[in-house]
Amino acid sequence: MQDFRSLPGHLIRRLHQASVALFAEECASLDLTPVQYATLFAIGESPKIDATRLSEQVFFDRSTLGAVLDRLEKKALVVRSASATDRRVKVLTLTAKGKQLVKRASPAVLRVQERLMEPLTASEREQMQQLLSRLAEVHRGRETGPKLDD
């Protein structure tokens, strides 16, 4: 059997850990996690989005997203309000503070991507992006599967 350290899943997990560590370094002063940034960014792109559609946009399960939204609301970055068309549905909007945080964090997030891909040539970066996108699309729907983080 092949050594687990050379298996794609293991290597992807290690790369994810590196990405999160780089994000923590670049965004240390912002009190922001990668999941929170993705959530804020997606809400900013689609104001008045509901949680179901947001979970589809950021590929988080509803329970994880609910906890993230609770924290963002407590930080006064997001507001939940009743939908104009269906009072049972809550829609999400960034506060001015939330918009400002996304604006401040975006250059740091780009630096994370640059640092992560730095060892690769421009051609390799493009190829890596294409391959990762293809794999993510093929495995769409599995992102919110069972939690195996133990």
pLDDT in tens, 81-99: 988 888 888 899 999 999 9
> What is the distance between the alpha carbons of residues 91 and 96, in angstroms, rounded to a whole number?
16
> What is the distance between the alpha carbons of residues 85 and 143, in angstroms, rounded to a whole number?
30
Q: How does pLDDT run across 49-68, given as a tens digit for each residue?
A: 999 899 989 988 888 899 99
Beta bridge partners of 91: 50, 81
pLDDT of residue 89: 87
Q: What domains can you pick out in the chain, each with its CATH number? A: 4-138 (1.10.10.10)
- Rounded average pLDDT over 112-124: 97
